[in-house]
Amino acid sequence: MPPTHPTEVTLDVHLGPDELMAGMRHDALHGLGSRPRELPPTWFYDNVGCRLFDAITELEEYYPTRAERSILIDYGDQIAKASQADTFIELGSGTSDKTRHLLDAMLQLGQLERYVPFDVAEPTLRQAADQLVGEYPGLTVHGVVGDFRHHLHLLPAGGRRMLAVLGGTIGNLPPEDRAVMLATLSAQMAPGDTLLIGTDLVKDPARLVLAYDDHAGVTAAFNRNVLVRLNRELGANFDLARFEHVALFDPDNEWIEMRLRSVGDQQVSVGDLGLTIDLLDGETIRTEISAKFRPEGWQAESEAAGLELVSQWFDPAGDFCLSLSAKPGV
C-alpha cells in the first residue's frame, strides 16, 4: 500500500495583521469612547483567549459544550442525512473539537467532500485545520480567517452546503446584528442549503450565571484577557487588579452579560488610539452578551430570514438545542 499523504490545507486570509488591528482599533474606539462602554467578544480570542475558552469548556459549571456534544453524538447521523451536504462551513469553528462528531457522521453517510472552518483566530484555525487533514485523509479542508460580522460574502461557494454556528456563538450577537447575519447567510444560500445553529436554552438563572462565573476564576481570566490584549496590542494601560469580573442574567432580554467593573474612579488611556477615558467607581465595560433561546423563538428568527425549520434536537436534560433550517425551493 502506498503511504497516504494528508491533503494540504487551503487557507483564505481575509483578516491579515493589518485588517485585524484596524478592526480592533475601530471596535475599541467606538466601544470605549462612549457610554455605556462596550467591547465585542471577538477580541477575547488571541492564543491565550482561545486556550482559556478551551479550559472553560472543561469546567463543571460550563454545561453548554457537554450538552451540545451529546446532541452531536446522539443525532449526528440524523443531521447528516437531513442536510445531505457535501460542503460543511462552520463559522466561529475554534478548535473544531466537537465538530469531529458531525464530520464522522457526514463522512459515514458518504457525501461530505469539504470542510470549511472559519474563525477570527488564525493560529487556532491553522492548528485545527492541520490536525483535521491528518485525521481525515481525503477530506478537503479549506480554512477561512475572517470576521463573521464583515466577511460572510467571502464564504467559499459551490456544492450543497451546510452552514453552521455552534457553541452558542450566535447568541453573542445583539438581536439586530443576529438578524442581519441570518439574512446575509440566507441570501447567499441556494435552495437545499441548510443552516445548523447551536443555541443555549433559557433556564434557571442561577445555573446560567454560574456557567459564566466559575469557582476557579477561569471565566474571569478569560474576561480580563481582553484588557491584556488592549494593553499589549493598542498600548493601553488597564490595571487588571482594578477590574472585577461580573456575570449577570438580564431577564428582560434573556441573556447573560459579562462585564468588567471598575474598582474605584480611574483614568485609562489607550495610547495607539489617543483615547483617554474616565471610569467611575462601579462603572462597567460590557464584554459579552450570551443570549439564551427558546426553541420556538429560534424558529421564528430563522423564518423571518426566509429559512424553513427542518428539525430541532435536544440533549437529555433539555439544556441546549441544535436547529437545522433549510433554504426552501427544492
**Three-state secondary structure along the chain?**
CCCCCCCCCEEEECCCHHHHHHHHHHHHHHHHCCCCEECCHHHHCCHHHHHHHHHHHCCCCCHHHHHHHHHHHHHHHHHHHHHCCCEEEEECCCCCCCHHHHHHHHHHHCCCCEEEEEECCHHHHHHHHHHHHHHCCCCEEEEEECCCCCCHHHCCCCCCEEEEECCCHHHHCCHHHHHHHHHHHHHHCCCCCEEEEEEEECCCHHHHHHHCCCCCCHHHHHHHHHHHHHHHHHCECCCHHHEEEEEEEECCCCEEEEEEEECCCEEEEEHHHCEEEEECCCCEEEEEEEECECHHHHHHHHHHCCCEEEEEEECCCCCEEEEEEECCCC
Q: Is 301 among the residues that bind ligand SAM (CB under 6 A)?
A: no
Residue among 206, 165, 166, 163 at smallest CA distance from 67:
166
Question: Which of residues 200 and 277 has its CB atom nearest to ligand SAM in the complex?
Answer: 200
Cβ nearer to ligand SAM, comparing 234 with 268:
234
Instruction: Check residue 185 for interaction with ligand SAM (CB under 6 A).
Output: no
Is position 143 an interface residue for ligand SAM (rule: CB under 6 A)? Answer: no
Contact between 169 and ligand SAM by CB under 6 A: the answer reads yes
Q: Which of 66, 149, 203, 261 binds ligand SAM (CB under 6 A)?
A: 149
Rounded-to-integer distance, Cα 27 and Cα 150, Å: 13
Copy the grid coordinates of residue 43.
477580541
Near ligand SAM by CB under 6 A: residue from 92, 143, 159, 171: 92
Min. distance of Cβ 241 from ligand SAM in angstroms?
26
Among 9, 39, 42, 327, contact with ligand SAM (rule: CB under 6 A)? 42
Cβ nearer to ligand SAM, comparing 38 with 262: 38
Q: Is 182 in the site for ligand SAM (CB under 6 A)?
A: no
> Looking at 38, 46, 122, 147, which residue binds ligand SAM (CB under 6 A)?
147
Q: Which of 9, 28, 53, 71 binds ligand SAM (CB under 6 A)?
A: 53
Closest CB to ligand SAM among 174 and 192? 174
Is residue 94 close enough to count as binding ligand SAM by CB under 6 A? Answer: yes
Answer yes or no whether residue 167 interacts with ligand SAM by CB under 6 A. Answer: yes
Least Å from the CB of residue 281 to ligand SAM: 31
Interface pick for ligand SAM out of 20, 52, 67, 121 (rule CB under 6 A): 121
Stretch of 100-108, 117-125, 178-186, 253-261 lying at the interface with ligand SAM (CB under 6 A): 117-125
119 binds ligand SAM (CB under 6 A): yes
CB nearer to ligand SAM: pick between 45 and 243? 45
The CA-atom distances, in angstroms, between 69 and each of 242, 270, 314 are: 37, 40, 11
Rounded to 5 degrees, φ, ψ at 93 are -75, -25
- The answer to whether 148 contacts ligand SAM (rule: CB under 6 A) is yes
Closer Cβ to ligand SAM, 106 or 268, answer by number: 106
Q: Judged by CB under 6 A, does residue 62 bind ligand SAM?
A: no
Task: Catalog residues that contact ligand SAM under the rule CB under 6 A.
Answer: 42, 45, 53, 57, 65, 92-94, 119-121, 147-149, 166-167, 169
